[in-house]
Structure 1
Amino acid sequence: MKDKTIDYALRATWQAVAKMYNEEAGKFGYTMATAFALLSVDPEDGIPSTSLGPRMGMEATSLSRTLKSMEQKGLIYREPHPEDGRSVIIKLTELGTIKRDLSKEAVVKFNETIKKHTSQEKIENFFEVTEIINELISEKKIFD
């Protein structure tokens, strides 16, 4: 099956990447979800809580659990949204900023390693194919 379907290759590769990132994050007592959340928060301005879930592709329940854990670990804090009383802004603490930088280093190292072992043309083709897949899905052209 793995040699015959695009979705299998995507799923298997993403599972391997997620496992790798979770193992790396685990060395520091965190998860990939925590690291991804840290990377999604603007280090200066923070991010409205309502924008974080869609940016991460996370359901509200999972995001809420992740944010609660991050707050307990001293990585983030919440401020009232200045324009929307129903929302809050998620901001990084000093520790959160340090851990965000470590997460960014891991992502950069992953990308640099892949680029060292892959031609620029193949990387461009990869992004082109993923863009096509996303367009076809968003335009609902797969299961018409």
Structure 2
Amino acid sequence: MKDKTIDYILRATWQAVSRMYNEEASKYGATMATGFALLSIDKEKGTPSTSLGPKMGMEATSLTRTLKSMEEKGLIIRKKNPEDGRGVLIYLTEFGKEKRELSKNTVLRFNESVKKNISEEKLQHFVEVAEIINELILDKNIFVPTIGSEILEQIQSLDNK
């Protein structure tokens, strides 16, 4: 830990998890993104396409490619939103629901394996640290200037003139 930065540890860990999921998904002709999308779509009511990107943390162009591939494989269908004719709802097909269960079981197996090897207390600390990091980022408290209060007051008084 001494030599590695926190962001390096987060990035390396996420890359390992991502690689693991992609290797598993490739056995079924899928990708991690496909599995994540299957899990993010409401299996009964469908999900507006516009809410999928933010829910999955994906850019619109990547999401569009993923959804197009999923539609071609018969995992999803798109229908106009009856409440908003401009919008589109994404629904899982029966085949998509089957693959969703497979994705769900894969995620649960990963969670079980981690829980078997890490104490509940350590996992709780991990969750707490991750939540604090997310809050710092969301609140934009990472790159806040550390200017002395006197200098800050001088700058603010100049702004008011």
Q: What TM-score do the two structures reach when normalised by structure 1?
A: 0.98
Give 1:102's aligned residue. Answer: 102
SS of the equivalent of 1:91 reads strand
| Separation in structure 1 between the aligned mates of residue 2 and residue 19 of structure 2, nearest angstrom | 18
1:18-38 deviations in Å (ceiling 9; x for gaps): 000000000000000000000
| Greater than 4 Å deviation, 4+ residue runs | none
Partner SS, residue 87 of structure 1: strand
Q: SS where residue 136 of structure 1 aligns? A: helix
Following the alignment from structure 1 to structure 2, what is the Cα–Cα distance between the partners of residues 23 and 30? 9
Identify the residue that residue 34 of structure 1 maps to in structure 2. 34
2:154 matched residue in structure 1: none
What SS is found at the alignment partner of 2:44?
Answer: coil
Task: Assess, with a 3 A threshold, how the Cα gap between structure 1 residues 89 and 116 changes in structure 2: closer, same or farther.
Answer: same
Give, in whole Å, the separation in 2 of the partners of 1:2 and 1:59.
Answer: 34
- TM-score, length basis structure 2: 0.87
Match of 1:11 in 2: 11
Partners in 1 of 2:62 and 2:134 — Cα distance? Answer: 23
SS of 1:143's equivalent in the other structure is coil
How far apart are the structure 2 equivalents of 1:123 and 1:98?
30
- How large is the RMSD of aligned CA atoms in angstroms? 1.1
Structure 1 unaligned blocks of 5 or more: none
For 2:47 and 2:4, how far apart are their aligned partners in 1?
41
Alpha-carbon distance between aligned partners in 2 of 1:53 and 1:138, rounded to the nearest angstrom:
18
Contact persistence 1:136–1:142 (CA under 8 A): yes
Identity of aligned residues (%): 70
Correspondence for 1:89: 89
| Greater gyration radius | 2
> Which moves more between the two structures, 15-24 or 80-89?
80-89
Distance 2:112 2:34 in 1: 22
Name the counterpart of 1:22: 22
Distance in 1 (alpha carbons) for counterparts of 2:86 and 2:49 = 10
Please give the alpha-carbon distance, in whole angstroms, between the structure 2 residues aligned to 1:87 and 1:71.
Answer: 17
